[in-house]
Amino acid sequence: MLTEKFVHAVGQAVGNELGTARSQPLFLASVAQYLPIFRDATPIPHSMAK
């Protein structure tokens, strides 16, 4: 799915930008249906939704 590819690319880019700061919480603002996709796609273990 194109949306999943996009969210995966964004998650990887955010992870690369944060570098070693990945242990810090990341707060997301998103449509609820995309949050699980982002969490699966990102290398950041502590993402939080609001």
Q: For residue 47, what are its two tokens?
A: 């993402």
**pLDDT confidence of residue 21:** 62
| 28 or 6, which is more confident | 6
Q: What is the 3-state secondary structure (H, E, C) of 22-41?
A: HHCCEEECCCHHHHHHHHHH
SS3 19: helix
Whether 42 and 14 have beta carbons less than 8 Å apart is answered as yes
- For the entire predicted model, the pTM comes to 0.59
**Residue count of the chain:** 50
Res. 46: pLDDT tops 70: no
Residue 16 host element (H or E): helix 2-18
